[in-house]
Amino acid sequence: MSTAERMRNYRGPVLFSHGFRAFFLLSSLWAALAMLVWVAMLSGAGILPLTMDPFSWHAHEFLFGYTSGVIAGFLLTAVPNWTGRLPVIGTPLAGLVGLWLLGRVALAISGLLDWRVVMVADLACTLVLLAFLAREILHGRNWRNLPVLALLALFATANALFHLEAARGEAAFDGMGMRLGLAAVLMLVALIGGRITPSFTRNWLAARGRTRLPVPFGRADGAVLGLTGLTLAGFIAAPEAAWMPWLMLVTGAAQLWRLARWQGLQTGAEPLLWVLHLAYALLALGFWAEGAAGFGLIAPAPARHIWLAGAIGLMTLAVMTRASLGHSGRSLHAGPGTTALYLALCGAVVTRLLAGWLPAQLWLLHLSGTLWVIGFGGFALLYLPVLARPRVAKKPVSGPGRTA
């Protein structure tokens, strides 16, 4: 039975008919809810019985909570296309979603549980996902995507290390587990974002008769990815080294050079595209910000949020919107609602950076959190009909009409 045949024969709940549906919906809801809890914590409310400090919980639930759900939804959708093998749908998919939810609940009530129980509950979804992807990629002999598998394994290792650091009473939000997990996700952004952004841009420009197209992947791109991996390895193992700020600056410049070859300035008419270019630009600018922080020119927290809220937050929202539209048979065009989500998240990033430079202005943090909730909560509301209803029989013709 082919992938398409299995999809056609599926008769269960629509949310479990494709990997992206439940994971994208629940991850976006969690991004919004966790931010509301975090803003309340900043105001002094002790809402959750936590074992780890609130800063570590906040960092963990963005990187290893929300982001892990988006990664799961994306890979469960992409890997069957990469390998030609059958997707995970129905009861097995529901079980995987349940494991992800179990991790979120365990972290939220970690003060009532043994830390080892919390760690196992939290790691369960990623480990099962890793086992599935390893089977599919290896059996499908899809060697091109082995780096994705390796990065997911590093991500799971980082999560375990984060729990160990928190159990020792350390500031896990600034520990090696956090750096390793962040580096793994940033490499995924560089690898997969660097694959889909020029590809989607090339297709869109070519369909409109444009002749200036993104430069195909070549040795120079491979060299930039290698440099990025080297820099992130230093970020993990030797973040205080004297040479790290210089390496960060060079890597940021290399990534911006790579991005400039993808013709992003021609995509202003399509938000589904320019948001990918902007998210990738924030990846590059994050290296520059980390370099500036290493020289003591700016504070570390706002620099780190260019990567976290900016590159990762915006790239994941961009991928969720595009994948949800494309895999549900809808037109690949961002309507006013989707564009508003992108702008809200951009506003959240900008105000979070301003809050880091103006720490006395607590209202900036609240405004940033509000815009974040609008971005991700708005996605859940706007895309609920897309995610919870069956795939449309035929893609509508692009042109006037209502789009998300």
Give the 3-state DSSP-derived string for 262-330, with helices as H, strands as E and coil as C. CCHHHCCCCHHHHHHHHHHHHHHHHHHHHHHHHCCCCCHHHHHHHHHHHHHHHHHHHHHHHHHHHHCCC
**Predicted local confidence at residue 2, as pLDDT:** 55
Whole-number mean pLDDT of the chain?
Answer: 94
**Predicted local confidence at residue 402, as pLDDT:** 41
Residues 6+ apart with CB under 8 A from 233: 183
277, 264 contact by CB (below 8 A): yes
HSE of 42, CA atoms in CB hemisphere, 13 A: 19
Residues 6+ apart with CB under 8 A from 242: none
pLDDT at 401 over 50: no
pLDDT at 287 over 60: yes
Average pLDDT of the residues in 26-46: 95
Average pLDDT of the residues in 112-133: 98
Distance between CA atoms of 279 and 270, rounded to whole angstroms? 15
Q: What is the dihedral of CA 29, 35, 36, 41, to 10 degrees?
A: 150
HSE of 235, CA atoms in CB hemisphere, 13 A: 30
pLDDT at 289 over 50: yes
Distance between CA atoms of 140 and 336, rounded to whole angstroms? 40
pLDDT band of 396, cuts 50, 70, 90: very low
pLDDT band of 8, cuts 50, 70, 90: low
| pLDDT tens, position by position, 139-192 | 988 999 999 999 999 999 999 999 999 999 999 999 999 999 999 999 999 999
**Predicted local confidence at residue 10, as pLDDT:** 76
* Residue 107 structure tokens: 């972290």
**Predicted local confidence at residue 36, as pLDDT:** 97
Amino acid of residue 273 = L
Q: What is the reported pTM? A: 0.95
pLDDT at 285 over 80: yes
pLDDT at 131 over 60: yes
**Predicted local confidence at residue 11, as pLDDT:** 75
**Predicted local confidence at residue 193, as pLDDT:** 98
Q: Is 389 helix (H, G, I), strand (E, B) or coil?
A: coil
**Predicted local confidence at residue 398, as pLDDT:** 45
Domain extents for the chain?
Answer: 1-174, 186-391
86, 1 contact by CB (below 8 A): yes
Distance between CA atoms of 42 and 65, rounded to whole angstroms? 20
Query: Which 8-state DSSP code applies to residue 61?
Result: I
**Predicted local confidence at residue 66, as pLDDT:** 99
